[in-house]
Structure 1
């Protein structure tokens, strides 16, 4: 691994004297900085605010990949994404996907039916809170043929994280207004209404109790019964009983059917 010092300085030169930058200008500058440090196949940057549908700020995808990584993701799968939940928790730092994923994420139906379509070997994200309730997640992606980031590469990304955070807070400091009145729904009383209410409506329409809905969402995210019990403070056996009751109510017998019902109801 070697750092392209000349390319790095040239990218930083784009920031000099610029009090503001467009999304594409900043995204391209970020890409050039990362390109001087590590190898990657794609970059995508999303802004998250509460349960609102994420806003795509920048990406390097071609048209076909954009459908999978952005358009399809924004329809509903993002609700089950570990990056989305990390952003909602307002956690800052740089993380590998496997650090954030629930214990059964890589065997979950969400992973098998959506995430596998991305063909990624690994995804690393910079998470930056901007102070207005918004979190910006800047993802570096490596495809299967490229393999995961090495220990040395990830260590370098951790070292550069404070600089990335400072840059984001300089050029993407005020994004909250972009969510107001967006397709994901208006805000009322300080609470996101759009898709967050839509998800509530899904469970109410399926006649699930609040506890059953909470358990089902964690199941779909990739949590095991043991993990769900720990998160909700209930016994593992109780979680399993609720899961059986949900399957009985919905007339299904698999997580595949559960995910299908969930996404179809959202759409």
Structure 2
């Protein structure tokens, strides 16, 4: 598509003289800027810090879509999301989901059970590191009917990335207190339930399932969509050893498939 200069200038004009913006105001400014440059169907912005529940800063979903893309995602599936793991690694830039996904992601149970509900053809994210070990990811999504981003539009997004990064660091520079408040609220909830305040949600799942640290590492990678070969390379062990550990985990948990593994994981996470 051709650049909409009128729309682009209008988006820039909204920022002139503004030392601060609300989440909705900055999110809308970002949406209008991107809409002047490329075609997309949805925008969603999450902030990530460690293994903590991501904070949703802005999105363009209707109420029904919001349940799938935000509410369900924050309830636990984010822990298996390639964008989440890329944010945790503190990688920056404009990145495609398909470039970040593990080798078996698109045949994984997570993909079939959760991600396929989104009906997306492609997702591209601006990964921006801010203070306090926080990464903000601004995602542009295209539905299957729209198709993937053409190479020319992806190149445009790469060119505008420095501007987006500077905007994010200016207008979303103080997110740490919001994560701290979320942790405090979560700690109160866990204390009421008699759970340990120190454990992150995923860590509590593995503790409750009585898996060893090695078994935990392997199961996490399986659920993320890594093959046994990929897991072996990541953990520096043989493919055969990975398969032995997987069989032991399945036997310990009384299951026989990745479908049951994901179901058990999400049930314990909830």
TM range (shorter): over 0.9
Written as runs of structure 1 = structure 2, the 5 A alignment for 1:15-164 is: 15-164=15-164
Over residues 103-153 of structure 1, what are the superposed CA-to-partner deviations in whole Å (9 max), with x where a residue is unaligned?
110000000000000000000000000122110000000000000000011
Written as runs of structure 1 = structure 2, the 5 A alignment for 1:244-263 is: 244-263=247-266
Provide closer, same or farther for how the CA distance between residues 29 and 196 of structure 1 changes in structure 2, counting only shifts above 3 A. Answer: farther
* Distance (Å, rounded) in 1 between the aligned partners of 2:150 and 2:198: 37
Written as runs of structure 1 = structure 2, the 5 A alignment for 1:170-181 is: 170-181=170-181
Over residues 200-254 of structure 1, what are the superposed CA-to-partner deviations in whole Å (9 max), with x where a residue is unaligned?
2221222211100110000000001111111111111100000010011111111
User: For residue 186 of structure 2, what is the aligned residue in structure 1?
Assistant: 185
* Distance (Å, rounded) in 2 between the aligned partners of 1:194 and 1:108: 31
* Distance (Å, rounded) in 2 between the aligned partners of 1:254 and 1:48: 30
* Distance (Å, rounded) in 2 between the aligned partners of 1:198 and 1:46: 18
Q: Which runs of 5+ in 1 are unaligned?
A: 188-192
CA RMSD for the aligned pairs? 1.5
User: For residue 224 of structure 1, what is the aligned residue in structure 2?
Assistant: 227
Q: CA deviation at 1:21?
A: 0.5
Provide closer, same or farther for how the CA distance between residues 194 and 6 of structure 1 changes in structure 2, counting only shifts above 3 A. Answer: farther
User: For residue 204 of structure 2, what is the aligned residue in structure 1?
Assistant: 201
CA contact 2:83–2:100 (8 Å) conserved in 1:
yes
User: For residue 240 of structure 2, what is the aligned residue in structure 1?
Assistant: 237
Residue-pair matches, total: 262
CA contact 2:47–2:137 (8 Å) conserved in 1:
yes
User: For residue 192 of structure 2, what is the aligned residue in structure 1?
Assistant: none
* Distance (Å, rounded) in 2 between the aligned partners of 1:167 and 1:90: 18
Q: Calculate the TM-score normalised by the size of structure 2.
A: 0.94
Over residues 48-102 of structure 1, what are the superposed CA-to-partner deviations in whole Å (9 max), with x where a residue is unaligned?
0111100000000000000000000000000000000011111110101001100
* Distance (Å, rounded) in 1 between the aligned partners of 2:92 and 2:222: 25
Q: Secondary structure at the match of 1:205?
A: helix
Q: Secondary structure at the match of 1:37?
A: coil
Q: Calculate the TM-score normalised by the size of structure 1.
A: 0.95
